Amino acid sequence: MHVICYPDLPRWRDGAAREIARRLDDAIRERGRATLMLAGGSTPRPIYETLAELNGVDWARIEIFWGDERHVAPDDRRSNFRMARESLLAPLDLDPVSARVHPVPTGDQPATDAVRYERLMRDRFRIGPTAIPRFDVVLLGMGDDGHTASLFPGSPGLEEVERLVIHNPAATPEPRLTVTYPLLDQARSLIVLVRGGDKAERLREVLTEPQHDYPIQRIAPHKGELLWLVDREAAARLPAGLCSDPTN
């Protein structure tokens, strides 16, 4: 696990965009394409906006998925797809419904849409019904209750070991679809984006007190990296020595 703490919000935003772009470029160089799983919520928005402005990212070779979704219409203000369409897809002029952009379907029953999305993932990765896709870059946020994606404390999704995408019943205003740990743990690079002083204490617990067993603490990449990109305010309560300075 590697934690990079940035001295201010602009450098967190710009640094995170560069870290993501670097890993996408590496994947394209090594395998001819990259697969990116987006996080939802509000934290990633400025990073997506900056990512869209970076030169040299070969978006024609990047396939975009989502790690979780509120089961609402795609133009609903709660939609994670809508947030990414506004902050990343539109500035890049990427067609939101194309061969490389794969929003989570939300037009059917939640459980049906979850099955459909898992099938789509396997189709795009050209793997069989029991194989697990290995994403190049998975972006995640952290809720103030220690959830990530839509894996909430006490939710049944925490125990899912077979399915890769599920409807995960939780105390949220809308149904939630989410990827599960078997999929997350296969990623080459898991990048957790954390911003703001309101998350400082929870981040300290998550990074230094494993006994809490928060959902985000259960992420255990098999062969990939787990990288935390944290702004100064969110890092305020971390013990000295846990943070690495940004290299650029």
Of residues 114 through 173, those in contact with ligand 6PG by CB under 6 A are 141-143, 147-150
Q: How far is the CB of 39 from ligand 6PG (least distance, A)?
A: 5
DSSP calls for 116-177:
HHHHHHHHHHT--TT-----SEEEE---TTS-BTTB-TT-GGGG--S-SEEE---SSSS-EE
Q: Any contact of residue 191 with ligand 6PG (CB under 6 A)? A: no
Least distance to ligand 6PG, CB of residue 194, Å:
8
Min dist CB 149 to ligand 6PG, Å, is 5
Choice between 82 and 188, CB closer to ligand 6PG: 82
| Contact between 19 and 191 (Cβ < 8 Å) | yes
Give the residue closest to ligand 6PG by C-beta.
141
Write each residue from 33 to 72 as x if it is in contact with ligand 6PG (CB under 6 A), else as -, in one continuous string.
Answer: ------xxxxx------------------------x-x--
The closest of 149, 166, 137, 188 to 39, measured between CA atoms, is 149
The phi and psi torsions of 140 (rounded to 5 degrees) equal -135, 155
Near ligand 6PG by CB under 6 A: residue from 80, 87, 168, 186: 80
Neighbours of 197 (CB within 10 A): 13
Residue 83 beta carbon to ligand 6PG: minimum distance, rounded to whole angstroms: 9
Question: Which of 28, 182 has the CB closer to ligand 6PG?
Answer: 182
Radius of gyration of the chain (CA): 17
| Shorter beta-carbon distance to ligand 6PG: residue 40 or 110 | 40
CB of 121 to ligand 6PG, least distance (A): 17
Residue with token string 């990074």: 207
Q: What angle do CA 65, 2, 29 make, to 5 degrees?
A: 50
**HSE-up (13 A, CA, CB side) for residue 240:** 0
Give the residues lining the site for ligand 6PG (CB under 6 A): 39-43, 68, 70, 80, 141-143, 147-150
